[in-house]
Structure 1
Amino acid sequence: MSASPVARLVGLASGLLRRVVIGRVPKLFDAAYYRERNPGVARSGLDPFLHYAWFGARRDRNPNADFDTAFYRRQSGRTRLDPLRHYGQIGAAQGLDPSPGFSTSLYLARYPDVVAAGVNPLQHFRTDGRAEGREAAPSPIEPDRLRALDGVAEDHRLTLPEAEGGRFALTLLRDSPLDRTADFAPRFCLQLCVDGVEYDALLNAFRAFEAGAQASLALEIDTGAGPHPPMPTQLLAFERCFVSRSGNGRVLHLRYAELRAWDLRLKRPGVAAVFPGGHFSARLLAKGEGWPAA
């Protein structure tokens, strides 16, 4: 189906903006792959790499089939560049791995001709190495860290805050109406960059809510109020849930059958607590926006 006139206009304008602000699209970026997995981007006509660099990377969207944005961000932390450009310009030279299935250092050690050619190892593997029968060794970096994310669709993952210094509110609800437009997700993963006090406060909030009778319980997180870890320290895995969004996508609503809270601060992360089903919402707050009313 051909693009609408509006989508074509958006494509031209956003493509020009991307060339002015960002420059060339990295060779590692697979526009067809990104559009296929982000149909909203395809329908809008928005330049796909501009979307990835400005929005998609923050939501752990992957730029190609061999690059896992969430996995890479755990190694690099917050960076000025989006994860894909960071890997191409800096990360590969530092030995960072683009996905659990690809070790940068082991690929270069196995194929010295790639080193001599000065080619990005993942780019070589994607364009030539795979077709030539060269093997990619799995990454040795904390393989257990991502077990909770195995098989979870990209649009069923969210990392908060989306930007350094961001603010968000988390609310536990005793009951709430089910949105008819809600999607079913076998698992929804919410990763939080919280400090130790906030980590404990959130677990205690779930425990208190489970034992109490209050209709709701809210927790407010302001990562701009003090130093915060650059990588997620807590992962909330909501099992067998219905997912909906409101407020232009800034409010997430979940009705879930079980919650497993993972501690990501450990070298070998694991489940720290399990809670019964319930209702949960997460609201991203814009700069200057007040906290939601209790």
Structure 2
Amino acid sequence: MKENWQSPLVSVVIPSYNHKRFLQKCFDSVAAQTYRNIEVVIVDDCSADGSTSEIERLIQNVSWKSRFPQKTQFQTFTKNQGAHAALNYGITKANGDIIALLNSDDMYHPDRIKYIVDAMQNKKSEFVFSGVEYVDESDRNVTNSHPVAQRYFCTQKLISQYPSLGFACLICNVSISTGNFAFTKALFNRVGEFSNYRYCHDWDFLLRSILHTEPLFLEQDLYYYRFHGKNTFETLESIAEEESTKIMTSILSKMQVEHLQNPVAPSPLNWPSYFELFLYWFNLTRYLKAPAY
């Protein structure tokens, strides 16, 4: 770590796109963090709803400037480039040793970054994500009432049944959202940028990361994911299967033949017999170019 390891600089990277009405609460949740050493990098992907003006207003506020003196960067794209491009640009510009992502329609729990830094220090982890609370447009908890929220909730509850978190990640994106990602800048440099997938760029990055390090799951609900009728998953589901096939074919190919840096990552070398059985149980063999060995 370049910074004092007791208090490393955390770069909160916020990709923004047409979420003007949620920006105030999103930004407030960053300003309310109990962890102090934070910079904020905001990238607006050519929003058409007045988001850029709202962002300018928020970051020029006296209280914001007091909380983040000299520690706010704001970039606007003149052409829409996609979430992956906004993320990559923001991470590249970030100065922190730890990157914490936050989608512009979502929010952080006040202690989120504190718990993440503590976990990285104590567990020597390079990638952390947490439990999620699901809210609606008015911040009301819909975890038990929204059908998709219920599915996501159950997905995370099943994580512990697998021998390593990597196996849970192969089933689906158990982190739920890019906004729930926190990782070291060093890991990002090894894994590489977010790929140009419109729907599954988060899952792809998570899977590529587990080849290098074992993620850590914090069970506390430290991320607030908002359902508001225009979430990406609802507008892009039609291309999910095509992207998933490409991602799984690529990642399983690497797991079969490469010596992985993560010693507990799913692979036939790390998990003899179990790896092949796992692929069979969950019908993942259809993504193999050649039989697993």
Same fold (TM over 0.5): no
TM-score, length of structure 1 as denominator length: 0.27
TM-score, with structure 2 as normaliser: 0.27
Decide which structure has greater helix share.
Answer: 2
